[in-house]
């Protein structure tokens, strides 16, 4: 049965739907596919396939779009894309092979019983022999044909069937072939089998006899595929060449395109199994972690990073440890700021151990990682509005100025400068840095970073009241997200920034819609920091709507989101967020000229936010008229806050001393600090400390305090008074007093009934 263009025109969308990551193409109906296959096979038998493809352009486009890509990418220049007949011939050989009951390649040997006795093989054998893909072997004990006898006649003789039965087998094979080709090669196994077939074709055409010749050819084809924009073909060629580093570079550079390709993981698995050394396996794990991040697979990303950490630890390689700690910090950045800080600090420490020192003689690779980690750490400080971010960036800028670093690192530096300047309120300079970052990212075609920068520009233009540009940059990200894979963090942040643009225009309904979209993405991917921001912004919108409408439902919605934001943000991670959320409802009724929450704090407020906030609160109370007792309590609260700051700084110093075994070098400083504390204590506090330590085995803290109070008030104490205060027998009281005197806490005077005990002078 022939097919003409009128049949195809009945189903144009089915025959032309392009394949993409997000939706499977519509398959043509089975009758249309069977008619197309019938006509196609007739053209193959007549040797007119090239002419047939020119006349059936829509079918040719369908095959090219869904099937020929893997073949042409793997075959390199040996299959001409402008003349697809050879590629279609290979495709047909592969597809007929898929009909074999054993699913082996068509060129694999076929057993005798399959030829003669097993009826399940007859449809594929009839089809393969009719197309000339397989020759009918001679089984003379079963059938003796003449030399030029047709394949159909030979098979009828071998199977002892009539022509009608043979053609039923053939029609069944054609229907199965149509069923195969009307879909798309969905599995990695199918697509890799197509590539292997094309690779074999290329090896035969180019006479690639030795392994070295094949590896060199694949390396050349990988480079050509990268130039042509076929990242999946480049990945496959690097894998065939045994170039693990090339595979890793391709995964890193083209993670957007490769993230959801079904072949990517299969190729990476095969390469990982043959990686030659720890460094190759390590870098491959981090590249695969980036792929998992693109797919929103947080568990997979973390598992790959932890595997890289194990490899680095087993090799005891400080550079690799510094690199993987930086990657783990990036993973935890939107989830747990405390852990992200810890990992970044570990990264800096290990990179320093690589001989970084004052950078004299350090490898550029180490410098690159060091600068990148400083910038990431600065980004985290910026997220907390901590001005230490600026110091870190200045240090990174100074180091970067002495080396030739990659555009990716320089772009990251520009990106973070832009964020810090935005939080400092310098929007024009922030925009300059963001646009410089965008140019660098466009130069290296880092699509995810480009999208992230679009989102950041949207936020800054919104704050600058340039709402058209703010919406434009956000819409670029959302539009591209419909055609390519975008990291969940970038997508959620973009919805958030677009919501901010609507918020600045007082369009609270649109802002709420965007914030809710951001919240849904953040919660789905466990991005806790972003989820907290979304809840905060939704609470802010709800309270402002309540201020306008007086609707209690708006107030309740605001309370709900404020409570959710407080619950999501770990208090020990960033107290500024929780504190801002607690004040939100109160502050929302105040001046609304500048509702930007993320602005740089003072150094002390950023480092000890809770304590400095308490000091400021108590200072406000002291500024008001009040009872003397209230002012005393305020002064004492301020003293406690500063004491807590002093203790936190001391504990931080002790932790570093212990971690780096520096105890001997800071003895004098610690003694000076202790003397300072002791000098500031009152006599009563000193006595209380000494008594608690020396009398703990005799009396509890409450009785100790009562005894000291009596001694300080009356000047002395006898046995009966001590027994009464401590609820002891006279004999036990006498023993206690003798012991306390022996320990130097008391001085005994007099004898017998006149015995008294006093405090040392």
521 versus 687: which is more confidently predicted?
521
The pLDDT value recorded for residue 13 is: 35
For the stretch 187-212, pLDDT in tens is 888 888 889 988 988 998 899 889 99
Q: Domain boundaries in the chain?
A: 5-189, 234-316, 608-653, 683-758
Average pLDDT of the residues in 619-643: 68
Average pLDDT rounded to a whole number, residues 320-332: 90
pLDDT over threshold 90, residue 267: yes
Mean pLDDT of the chain: 82
Q: Find the length of the chain.
A: 761
Helix segments in 482-608, DSSP class H: 488-504, 508-524, 528-549, 552-568, 575-587, 603-607
> In terms of C-beta density within 10 A (0-12 exposed, 13-18 middle, 19 or more buried), how is residue 172 classed?
middle
Taking residues 317-331, what's their average pLDDT? 90
Q: Is residue 281 a contact partner of residue 275, using CB atoms and an 8 Å limit?
A: yes
Residue 719 predicted with pLDDT over 70: yes
The CA distance from 458 to 468, in Å, is 9
Q: Given CATH 1.10.10.10, say whether it is the number of domain 683-758.
A: yes
At 684 the pLDDT is 64
Residue 126: its pLDDT value, please? 93
Q: What is the pLDDT of residues 692-702, one digit of tens each?
A: 777 778 888 77
The whole-number pLDDT of residue 667 equals 72
| pLDDT value of position 11 | 31
Share of the chain above pLDDT 90, in %: 25
Predicted TM-score (pTM) of the model is 0.64
What is residue 244's predicted lDDT score, i.e. its pLDDT?
A: 92
The DSSP secondary structure of 33-75, one letter per residue, reads HHHHHHHHHHHHHHT-HHHHHHH-HHHHHHHIIIIIHHHHHHH
- Predicted confidence at residue 644, as pLDDT, reads 74
| Res 81: pLDDT | 76
From the list 203, 200, 254, the residue with the least C-alpha distance to 232 is 254
Q: How confident is the model at residue 264 (pLDDT cuts 50, 70, 90)?
A: very high
Encode pLDDT of 514-566 as tens digits.
999 999 998 888 888 888 889 989 999 998 888 888 888 888 888 898 888 88
Residue 494 near residue 474 (C-beta atoms within 8 A):
yes
Q: What pLDDT is stored for residue 25 in this prediction?
A: 53
Q: Looking at residues 382-397, what average pLDDT do you find?
A: 84
Q: What share of the chain is helix, strand, coil (3-state, %, to 5)?
A: 75, 0, 25
pLDDT of 405: 86
- Single out the residue of 89, 80, 18, 78 nearest to residue 52, CA to CA: 89
Asked if the model's pLDDT at residue 73 lies above 70, the reply is: yes
pLDDT score recorded for residue 446: 84
Provide the pLDDT confidence category of residue 606 given band limits of 50, 70 and 90.
Answer: low
Q: How far apart are CA 527 and CA 46, in angstroms?
A: 61
Q: How far apart are CA 280 and CA 32, in angstroms?
A: 49
At 358, the pLDDT band (50, 70, 90 cuts) reads: very low
- Over range 475-485, report the average pLDDT: 85
User: Is 410's pLDDT higher than 90?
Assistant: yes
> 466: which residues sit within 8 A by CB, 6+ positions away?
none
Q: Average pLDDT of 176-193?
A: 84
Q: Averaged over 278-300, what is the pLDDT?
A: 90
Helix (H, G, I), strand (E, B) or coil at 747: strand
Supply the pLDDT for residue 145: 75
The residue among 388 and 290 whose pLDDT is bigger is 290
The answer to whether 459 and 434 have CB atoms below 8 angstroms apart is no
**Per-residue pLDDT, 457:** 93
What is the structure's pLDDT at 139?
86
Nearest Cα residue to 237 out of 220, 213, 258, 260: 220
Chain segment 645-677, per-residue pLDDT in tens: 777 777 777 777 776 767 666 777 777 766 666
Mean pLDDT, residues 678-701 taken together: 71
Please choose, from the candidates 271, 365, 518, the residue with its C-alpha nearest in 3D space to the C-alpha of residue 510: 518
Q: How many angstroms separate the CA atoms of 172 and 609, rounded?
A: 77
């Amino acid at each position: 049965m022939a097919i003409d263009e009128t049949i195809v025109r009945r189903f144009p969308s089915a025959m032309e739907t392009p394949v993409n990551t997000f939706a499977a193409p519509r398959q043509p109906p089975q009758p249309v596919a069977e008619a197309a296959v019938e006509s196609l096979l007739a053209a193959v038998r007549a040797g007119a396939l090239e002419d047939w493809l020119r006349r059936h352009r829509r079918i040719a486009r369908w095959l090219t779009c869904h099937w020929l890509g893997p073949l042409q990418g793997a075959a390199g220049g040996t299959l001409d894309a402008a003349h697809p007949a050879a590629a279609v011939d290979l495709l047909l050989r592969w597809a007929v092979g898929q009909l074999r009951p054993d699913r082996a390649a068509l060129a694999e040997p076929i057993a005798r019983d399959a030829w003669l006795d097993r009826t399940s093989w007859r449809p594929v054998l009839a089809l393969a022999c009719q197309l000339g893909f397989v020759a009918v072997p001679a089984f003379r004990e079963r059938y003796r044909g003449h030399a030029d006898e047709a394949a159909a006649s030979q098979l009828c003789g071998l199977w002892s069937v009539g022509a009608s039965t043979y053609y039923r087998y053939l029609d069944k094979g054609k229907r199965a072939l149509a069923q195969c080709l009307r879909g798309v090669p969905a599995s990695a196994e199918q697509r890799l089998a197509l590539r292997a077939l094309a690779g074999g074709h290329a090896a035969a055409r180019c006479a690639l006899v030795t392994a070295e010749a094949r590896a060199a050819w694949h390396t050349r084809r990988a480079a050509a595929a990268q130039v042509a924009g076929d990242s999946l073909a480049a990945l496959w060629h690097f894998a065939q060449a045994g170039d693990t580093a090339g595979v890793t570079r391709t995964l890193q550079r083209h993670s957007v395109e490769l993230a959801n390709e079904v072949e990517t993981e299969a190729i990476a698995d095969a390469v990982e199994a043959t990686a030659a050394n720890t460094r190759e396996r390590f870098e491959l794990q981090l590249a695969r972690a980036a792929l998992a991040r693109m797919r929103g697979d947080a568990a997979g990303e973390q598992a790959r990073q932890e595997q890289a950490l194990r490899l680095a630890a087993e090799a005891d390689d400080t550079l690799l440890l510094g690199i993987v700690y930086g990657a783990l910090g990036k993973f935890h950045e939107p989830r747990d700021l405390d852990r992200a800080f810890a990992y970044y600090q570990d990264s800096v420490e290990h990179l320093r151990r690589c001989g970084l020192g004052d950078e004299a003689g350090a490898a550029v690779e180490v410098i690159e990682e060091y600068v990148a980690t400083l910038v990431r750490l600065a980004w985290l400080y910026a997220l907390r509005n901590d001005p230490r971010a600026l110091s870190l960036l200045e240090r990174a800028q100074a180091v970067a100025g002495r080396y030739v670093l990659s555009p990716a690192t320089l772009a990251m530096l520009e990106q973070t400068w832009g964020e810090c300047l935005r939080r400092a309120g310098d929007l024009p300079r922030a925009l300059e840095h963001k646009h410089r970052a965008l140019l660098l990212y466009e130069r290296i075609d880092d699509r995810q970073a480009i999208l992230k920068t679009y989102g950041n520009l949207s936020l800054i233009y919104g704050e600058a009241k340039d709402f058209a540009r703010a919406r434009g940059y956000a819409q670029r990200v959302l539009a591209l997200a419909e055609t390519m894979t975008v990291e969940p963090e970038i997508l959620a942040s973009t919805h958030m920034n677009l919501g901010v643009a609507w918020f600045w225009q007082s369009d609270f309904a649109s802002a709420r819609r965007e914030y809710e979209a951001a919240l849904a993405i953040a919660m789905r991917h466990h991005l806790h920091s972003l989820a907290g921001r979304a809840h905060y912004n939704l609470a802010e919108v709800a309270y402002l709507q309540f201020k306008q409408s007086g609707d209690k439902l708006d107030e309740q919605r605001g309370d709900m989101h404020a409570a959710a934001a407080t619950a999501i943000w770990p208090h020990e991670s960033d107290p500024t967020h929780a504190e801002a959320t607690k004040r939100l409802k109160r502050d929302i009724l105040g001046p609304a000229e500048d509702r930007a929450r993320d602005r740089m704090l003072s150094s002390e407020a950023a480092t000890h936010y809770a304590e400095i906030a308490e000091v400021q609160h108590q200072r406000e109370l002291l500024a008001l008229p009040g009872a003397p007792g209230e002012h005393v309590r305020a002064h004492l609260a301020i003293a406690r806050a500063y004491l807590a700051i002093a203790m936190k700084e001391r504990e931080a110093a002790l932790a570093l001393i212990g971690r780096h075994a520096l105890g001997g070098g800071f003895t004098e400083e610690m003694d000076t600090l202790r003397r300072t504390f002791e000098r500031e204590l009152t006599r009563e506090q000193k006595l209380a400390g000494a008594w608690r330590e020396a009398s703990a085995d005799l009396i509890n803290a409450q009785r100790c305090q009562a005894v000291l109070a009596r001694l300080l008030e009356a000047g002395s104490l006898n046995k009966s008074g001590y027994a009464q205060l401590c609820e002891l027998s006279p004999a036990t009281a006498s023993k206690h007093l003798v012991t306390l005197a022996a320990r130097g806490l008391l001085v005994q005077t007099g004898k017998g009934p006149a015995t008294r005990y006093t405090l040392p002078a």
